[in-house]
Amino acid sequence: MAHAVDSGDPAQLAARIAPLTAEGNPWRASARETQALIAMRRGEKEEARRILEALVADASAPQGLRERAQRVAAGLRS
């Protein structure tokens, strides 16, 4: 699915990702990161930043993902 983020229909991608973002889902952090990428693709910079900042604060998300989210969110602030 990751390859579809660049070329797939954003609405369809968002619908496919939504169930994975549920609390307790082991793929939640990755799905939230993908949601942020979809938001960026749609031009929804503030929504993407909100999602990424929530990931940075999520202690259950993998450290590498949180660091990546922090870098991307910082880039969206400029």
pLDDT, averaged in runs of 10, over the chain (78 residues): 68 93 95 96 96 96 97 91
Element (H, E) at 51: helix 45-57
pLDDT of residue 2: 54
pLDDT of residue 76: 92
pLDDT of residue 6: 66
Token pair 């889902």 is found at 25
pLDDT of residue 3: 53
pLDDT of residue 78: 72
User: How many other β-carbons are positioned within 10 Å of the β-carbon of residue 14?
Assistant: 16
pLDDT of residue 77: 84
